[in-house]
């Protein structure tokens, strides 16, 4: 339960903010790149929707989470390692690796897909807000656009990606923290490594999963 | 009783413990002393099985501990309490939850019974009205005492303390030492204490093992330590000028 709060609920704010502005920017960029009247206006809504669903709500969110949740997990477990709390667990007959890592894995695997869904909704809302308030598209066109040629599998695709990314973030970061050797300096280093390694793996798996799921 | 036979341990080629043999008896305070970096912590962690040893035997009574599997080790671990060099209280748990943790892991007592035991142990180390505080809200000495309470919560047969009074003022240090000695006698535990504090040595050194660079150099008790003929031990014991003056004035 504690893990849900720390790793999930606390990330809602940042994901909401990022999604809103991402949606806004994508809408504006699409609008300014398609000023030629041969493109129908509703394409802006469609472009916003698909970019958000395909890429931003999963991959970009995951990169943000790698920074926030990943460093958090690595430094928490790393601190427990260097302050001998993990030794203390072992002495009490606890299998420290599964005791510490499993709840975090469960929490992120269950919660992150919700963050993705939330990100999709807020992102599209951000696009609508920016588009209509700045007058680049009418509300009707935008709403028509986000319903036009909608492929529900894209959402599944996005959720599947997020589940993989959640696994990458949690396991890579927990590993980095668990095998820290030294003091607080090394804990800092481990949490940096956790972020870098999980980000790179996320980008790599993004390509692999896209090829597997969309080709 | 804990018996160690010819124990050696190295980390990636760097030999930290060399062929150490020693017996620790129950009911008395056994001390391991030596300079910083001499291998005290590694020895203690090897004895409790946190490090796998390269060679040698570790006997708990008549059980050969270092050859047991995880499940069987757990049986022995139920009887082990350990106080770590930095207390190692769980940051995310309150004082009460920390002390209850071993009870949650090893017993199936009801919450009421466990809470009663927790309060008894906290009372025993003189921690009062702090059940709901977190470790970060305690002073260093209180943390040590809570850690002792956690270590004794299962009524262990074996108690290990890694520098129980490092970082404490001399008076608090003596209180902690006295507490450990009292508990040892009260429950007839086999207690092993790492220290480099000469005050502790003179207060509670009923059996002393001196190691230097991972080698066992000397063993004896606090009465014998002042007139040993071990060079390195004398350097250690009479490290400060006050102690040297005292020795010279007695010899004169
Ligand atoms: N996990 C480890 N990996 C590699 N080397 C280690 C490890 N733990 C300890 N050592 C080495 O073993 C030696 C003994 O360390 P140990 O911690 O036992 O010293 P100590 O006697 O407890 O010192 P102090 O009084 O400062 O606590 C040191 O040289 C240390 O570098
Ligand atoms: Mg030490």
Predicted ipTM of the assembly: 0.89
Structural domains of chain A, count:
1
Range of the domain at A148: 2-214
pLDDT at residue A96, rounded to an integer: 94
Nearest to B203 by CA among B184, B220, B222, B189: B222
pLDDT at residue A4, rounded to an integer: 79
* pLDDT tens digit sequence for B113-137: 999 999 999 998 889 999 999 999 9
Q: How confident is the model at residue A53 (pLDDT cuts 50, 70, 90)?
A: very high
Cβ atoms of A58 and A165 within 8 Å: the answer is yes
Interface test with A, best of B11, B50, B103 (most A CBs within 10 A): B50
Which regions in chain B score pLDDT beneath 50?
none
Q: Which residues of A touch B82 (CB under 8 A)?
A: 88, 91
pLDDT at residue A185, rounded to an integer: 94
pLDDT at residue A112, rounded to an integer: 94
pLDDT at residue B1, rounded to an integer: 92
Given a cut of 90, whether residue A61 has pLDDT beyond it is yes
Q: What is the pTM of this model?
A: 0.89
Given a cut of 90, whether residue A160 has pLDDT beyond it is yes
Q: Which residues of A touch B (CB under 8 A)?
A: 2, 79-80, 83-85, 87-88, 90-94
Q: Taking residues A144-158, what's their average pLDDT?
A: 93
Judged by CB atoms closer than 8 Å, whether chains meet at B84 and A84 is answered as yes
Given a cut of 90, whether residue A36 has pLDDT beyond it is no
């Amino acid at each position: 339960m504690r893990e849900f709060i720390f790793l999930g609920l606390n990330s809602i704010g940042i994901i909401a903010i990022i999604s809103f502005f991402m949606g806004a920017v994508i809408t504006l960029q699409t609008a300014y790149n398609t000023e030629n009247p041969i493109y129908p206006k509703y394409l802006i809504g469609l472009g916003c929707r698909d970019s958000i669903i395909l890429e931003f709500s999963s991959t970009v969110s995951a990169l943000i989470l790698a920074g926030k949740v990943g460093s958090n997990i690595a430094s928490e477990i790393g601190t427990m390692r260097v302050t001998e709390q993990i030794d203390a667990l072992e002495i009490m007959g606890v299998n420290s690796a599964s005791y510490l890592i499993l709840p975090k894995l469960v929490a992120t695997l269950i919660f992150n897909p919700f963050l993705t869904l939330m990100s999709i909704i807020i992102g599209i809302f951000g696009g609508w807000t920016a588009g209509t308030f700045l007058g680049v598209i009418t509300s009707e066109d935008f709403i028509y656009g986000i319903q036009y040629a909608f492929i529900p599998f894209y959402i599944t695709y996005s959720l599947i990606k997020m589940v993989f990314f959640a696994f990458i973030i949690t396991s890579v970061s927990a590993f980095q923290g668990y095998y820290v050797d030294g003091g607080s300096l090394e804990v800092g280093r481990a949490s940096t490594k956790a972020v870098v390694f999980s980000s790179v793996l996320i980008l790599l798996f993004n390509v692999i999963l896209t090829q597997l799921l969309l080709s | 009783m804990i018996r160690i036979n010819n124990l050696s341990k190295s980390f990636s080629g760097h030999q930290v413990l060399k062929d150490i043999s020693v017996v620790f008896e129950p009911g008395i305070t056994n001390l391991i002393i030596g300079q910083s970096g001499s291998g005290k912590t590694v020895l203690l962690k090897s004895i409790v099985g946190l490090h796998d040893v390269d060679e040698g035997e570790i006997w708990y009574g008549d059980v050969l501990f270092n050859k047991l599997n995880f499940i069987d080790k757990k049986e022995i671990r139920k009887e082990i309490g350990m106080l770590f060099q930095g207390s190692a209280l769980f940051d995310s748990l309150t004082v009460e939850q920390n002390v209850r943790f071993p009870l949650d892991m090893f017993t199936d007592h009801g919450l009421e019974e466990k809470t009663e035991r927790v309060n008894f142990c906290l009372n025993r180390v003189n921690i009062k009205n702090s059940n709901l505080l977190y470790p970060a809200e305690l002073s260093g000495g209180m943390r040590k005492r809570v850690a002792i309470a956690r270590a004794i919560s299962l009524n262990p047969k074996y108690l290990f303390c890694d520098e129980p009074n490092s970082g404490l003022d001399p008076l608090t240090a003596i209180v902690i030492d006295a507490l450990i000695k009292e508990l040892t006698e009260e429950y007839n535990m086999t207690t092993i204490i790492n220290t480099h504090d000469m005050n502790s040595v003179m207060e509670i050194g009923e059996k002393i093992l001196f190691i230097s660079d991972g080698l066992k150099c000397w063993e004896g008790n606090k009465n014998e330590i002042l007139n040993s003929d071990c060079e390195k031990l004398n350097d250690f014991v009479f490290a400060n000028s006050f102690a040297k003056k005292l020795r010279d004035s007695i010899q004169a």
